[in-house]
Structure 1
Amino acid sequence: MIEFSNVGLRYGQGPEILRDLNFRIEPGTFHFLTGPSGSGKTSLLKLLLLSLRPTRGRVTLFGKDTSSLDQDALLQMRRHIGIVFQEFRLLDHLTTFENVALPLRVLGEPEASYRANVTELLEWVGLGQRLDALPAVLSGGEKQRAAIARAVIGRPDILLADEPTGNVDPELSLRLVRLFAELNKMGTTIILATHELPLLDAFPFPRMILNEGEIVFAD
């Protein structure tokens, strides 16, 4: 699913943020991505999302060397990758239903083709009674669940989560990671970046630990 070979990344003429990354991620697995602040977690997620290209080395996704792909091919590949941010990033003028359906609308799909699927997904994440609510009246946990639903409505093969529990309380953090775990059981490969030790200790998923630009794996 994912392979990094001698990957390095620097911004401009500065020092390398990431260096000599060599690892493979198998389909259907769940990994925590952790490390101290400033260790490069977000930069690594951007490489995986294909919004950044490495300064050196090779990133292979779905069996294809991404350095050999043109912009159109990268956009097509990116449709197989979902992303959940810490900041929710819901559009204030759209309802919960409309925010979650937005990726499908952008692709030009008619509402009749996805209404049932969006409604079912919102029921599954506990927002079945909030379809017509605007973000302003949603709680932090409801907003994050809507953001997760939006990220997975297109059935991505890979789901990336960048500190998705940073704006919610500890109890809700656990509930959200359980939600990610259920998605993983359905076959989605998940990489979840977090620095919250209680989460890391509460779940048995292996850890990718970034430190000073390098990565190690731990059970």
Structure 2
Amino acid sequence: MIEFEDVGLRYGHGPEILRDLTFTVEPGSFHFLTGPSGSGKTSLLKLLLLSLKPTRGTVRLFGQDVSGLDQDALLRMRRHIGIVFQEFRLLDHLTTYENVALPLRVLGQPESAYRANVTELLEWVGLGERMDAHPALLSGGEKQRAAIARAVIGRPDILLADEPTGNVDPDLSLRLVTLFAELNKMGTTIILATHELPLLDNFSFPRMLLRDGEIVIHD
């Protein structure tokens, strides 16, 4: 699903943020991405999201070297990748239902084709009774669950999560990661970046540790 070979990344003429990254991620796996602040976790996620290109080395997604893809091919590949941000990024003028359905609307799908799926997903994440509420009326945990639902409504093969529990309390953090684990059981490959190490002790997923621009995977 994901393969990095001797990948390095720098911004402009500065020092390398990431260097000599070599690892693989198998389809259907779940990895925690950890490391101290400034270690490059967000930069690594941007490489996976195809919003950055490596300075050197090879990144392969779905068996393809991404360096040779044109913009149209990159856009098609991005449709197989979901992303959940720490800051939710919900649109205030849209309801919960409309926010979650937005990726499908952008693709030109008629509401009749996706309404049942959006409704079912919102029920599954516990927002069935909040479908018509706007973000201003949602709690932090509800906003995060809406953001997760929006990220997975298109059934991505890969789901990236950048500190998704950073704005919620420990009990809700545990519930959210459990939700990601349930999504993983359905076949989605997940990489979840977090600095909350005690939270990880509740799960047996392998950890990708970034430190000083290099990576070590602990099974």
- Percent same amino acid at aligned positions? 86
RMSD: 0.4
| 1:32 equivalent in structure 2 | 32
One-letter identity of the residue aligned with 1:160: L
Amino acid at match of 1:60: R
**In the alignment, is residue 95 of structure 1 matched against residue 95 of structure 2?**
yes
Structure 2 residue matching 1:57: 3-state secondary structure: strand
What's the counterpart of residue 178 of structure 2? 178
User: Partners of 1:197 and 1:5 in 2: how far apart?
Assistant: 27
* TM-score between both structures, scaled by the size of structure 1: 1.00
1:150 equivalent to 2:154? Answer no
Aligned match of 2:218: 218
C-alpha separation in 1, matches of 2:46 and 2:136: 29
Tell me how far 1:197 sits from its aligned partner: 1.3
Find the aligned partners of 2:51 and 2:79 in 1 and give their Cα distance: 12
Corresponding position of 2:18: 18
Count of matched residue positions in the alignment of Structure 1 and Structure 2: 219
Q: Secondary structure at the match of 1:109?
A: coil
Query: What's the CA shift string for 1:27-47, capped at 9, x where partnerless?
Result: 000000000000000000000
Distance in 1 (alpha carbons) for counterparts of 2:171 and 2:109: 37
- The TM-score, its normalising length taken from structure 2, stands at 1.00
* Paired AA for residue 12 in structure 2: G
Query: Which residue identity does 1:116 align to in structure 2?
Result: A
**1:189 aligns to 2:199 (yes or no):** no
Runs of 4+ more than 3 Å apart: none
Aligned to 2:3: 3
- Structure 1 counterpart SS, 2:195: coil
Aligned to 2:129, the other structure's residue is in SS state: coil
Stretches of structure 2 that go unaligned for 5 or more consecutive residues are none
Deviations 1:159-217 (A, max 9, x none): 00000000000000000000000000000000000010121111110000000000001
The CA distance in 2 between the partners of 1:5 and 1:57, in whole Å, is 6
